[in-house]
Amino acid sequence: MPDFKDIIGHEEIISHLKNAVRLKKISHAYIFDGEEGAGKNLLAQTFAQTLQCEKGGESPCGVCRSCKQAAGSNQPDIIYVRHEKPGSIGVEDIREQLCGDIQIRPYSSPYKIYLIDEAEKMTVQAQNALLKTIEEPPSYGVIFLLTTNSESFLPTILSRCVTLKLRPVKDSQIRSYLMEQLRVPDYQADICTAFARGNVGRARMLALSEHFGELKDHALHLVRHMNDMELWEITEAIRKVSDYKADINDYLDLLVLWYRDVLLFKATRQVDSLIFSEEINYISLQATKISYEGLEKIIEALEKAKVRLKANVNFELTMELLLLTIKEN
């Protein structure tokens, strides 16, 4: 059962929603805007359950009939708008599941709440149909639009909704969550936190992903031994890296984090601030061997490789240029 106190970060949004409940100033339409994994669904569902809770508090009680129904995803007055086409939400989806249905009063709750996930996929026609309802909603109607891009909405929809933008969560909060709730070791929590860039859902996914663990192990093996590799070994390494082509941005990000650690240690000799602190022996060795200019060239080459791959430049050629640059420096 979700509760506001269990949500990591987003304190300003939670405060806003609790105030709205306490003051009984509930808007008819909210936009929860944030990247995938940021916590939009958790915030929206917790707010919906709070509004329908029979105890009438600032958080769902978790024990009343409404809360128990919501926990089982069968609260009749919390409606999830679905769409058959994966790439778009059409006008018929909105008309049939929302515009018509909202005219029927709630079954047993004070509100009738509609959650539209991936709302950025609504067609212009679907948005116009929704707009009519948002302009003249019944007193009990509340609509949540969950999106990764609120700029895709019509200005007329934006002007009639309360927009809640999810900001990145502090690294310290994510690290604590991974270590205390998921029992992730500190060194792994550091890597997942650095990769997550303030996204709790992404941090959780990385921490629990065996595939990411394999990706990390391969990338670290490569950077540990790059300077000792012969040309044929580099060719073989490129072939193995191609196994991770679908996750190449994550792979390259790991290499960037590694060389930033080398640069940081070279400049400060401080171990505590390193992401890969458990690899200090290799990092110390490379910090001694590679010049500041060399590290700058390597990090620049990694960023160039990302740009080239995004522009669909040949994968093997891009990786060969990158690995040779790393070896030369």
Please name the amino acid found at residue 146.
Answer: L
58 and 46 inside one domain? yes
Length of the chain: 329
Residue 258 has pLDDT above 70, yes or no: yes
57 and 113 inside one domain? yes
33 and 150 inside one domain? yes
Residue 71 has pLDDT above 90, yes or no: no
247 and 191 inside one domain? no
Which segment of 18-22, 198-202, 218-222 scores lowest on mean pLDDT?
218-222
108 and 179 inside one domain? no
Residue 262 has pLDDT above 80, yes or no: yes
71 and 147 inside one domain? yes
CA distances from 95 to 48, 99, 128, 138, 148 (A): 21, 5, 10, 15, 23
148 and 72 inside one domain? yes
DSSP state of 289: H
* Residue given tokens 């509760």 in the structure block: 3
156 and 175 inside one domain? no
Which CATH number do you get for residue 314?
A: 1.20.272
pLDDT tens readout for residues 294-324: 899 999 999 988 888 888 888 888 888 888 8
Given 181, 206, 231, the domain boundary residue is: 206
Residue 49 has pLDDT above 90, yes or no: yes
H/E run at residue 144: strand 141-147
Q: How confident is the model at residue 18 (pLDDT cuts 50, 70, 90)?
A: very high
Which CATH number do you get for residue 50?
A: 3.40.50.300
Residue 1 has pLDDT above 70, yes or no: no
DSSP state of 185: -
Q: What is the pLDDT of residue 250?
A: 84
Number of domains making up the chain: 3
pLDDT tens readout for residues 115-174: 999 999 999 999 999 998 999 889 999 999 999 999 999 999 999 999 999 999 999 999
Domain around 181: 170-206
